[in-house]
Amino acid sequence: MKILVPVKRVVDYNVKIRVDKDTNSVDLNNIKMSMNPFDEIAVEEAIRLKEKGHCDEIVVVSIGPEQCKETIRNALAMGADRGILIKSEHSPEPLLVAKLLSKIAQQDNFDLIILGKQSIDDDCNQTGQMLASLLNCSIGTYASKVDVDNENILITREIDGGLQTLKLRKPAVISTDLRLNEPRYASLPNIMKAKQKTIDDVEPSSLDIEMNPKLIIKKIEEPPKRIGGGKVSSIEELVDKLKNEAGVI
């Protein structure tokens, strides 16, 4: 079985986001970047399936500028076999990402695609669903457990009423939830070995995909600062403030 794992380079989750008022965009100067946490869980799950003997090759793919190779190297150091970088100077929208991934998946006939349920920068939570639709294959979202049973893939997912188990036929797409696993740290020997592993460069034009965005971000701004609370002397004063100042009643 061949597994494809898409990974995204995002601002590290420990970093406080700053907005560049001149460009109306997120300030990325001297900011620590890392692999999207949900994608890191996807890489870990693919490696665990390989360790159990269910997988022959793990391929990691990322979309973005040359710096995304650092993110791919991190996945290779964890245990993936090779990487693919689809070059793009901007961060494409979910539909474009799904189209690019579908072309890669069709070229190499992957049996399973494992990706994070969402990225922490835009929180769209759309790529996995769109990808499965384009490939016309099975999908299991928000997986908290993954098992392989012969030609079938069993996933457990959390729903409002408890837990749901799905049986998927290959090829399939799985999006990972936080409770699926705890990603490993790459050891120093594996980090050194990752430098020798292959990362192929792919141009979107070679996949017959136009990178013209359908969505344009007009403006990014920080949320307003919270205003401290106050005390009131009576219920009547509270109701008056809620009605005339806060406008909530």
Domain boundaries defined on the chain:
2-223
> Could you tell me how far CA 92 lies from the centroid of its own chain?
13
Per-residue pLDDT at 20: 80
Which CATH class name applies to 2-223? alpha beta
pLDDT < 50 stretches in the chain: none
Q: Letter for the amino acid at 54?
A: H
DSSP letter for each residue of 68-116: HHHHHHHHHHHT--EEEEEE-SS---HHHHHHHHHHHHHHHT-SEEEEE
Per-residue pLDDT at 30: 82
Per-residue pLDDT at 216: 80
- For CA atoms 120, 122, 125, 127, the dihedral sign is negative
CA distance 92 to 18: 21
Per-residue pLDDT at 232: 87
- For residue 189, give Cα distances in angstroms to 53, 109, 192, 196: 22, 31, 5, 12
Residue 227: how many CB atoms within 10 A of its CB?
A: 6
Per-residue pLDDT at 160: 87
Per-residue pLDDT at 200: 94
CA distance 204 to 104: 10
Average pLDDT, the chain: 90
Per-residue pLDDT at 90: 80
Per-residue pLDDT at 140: 93
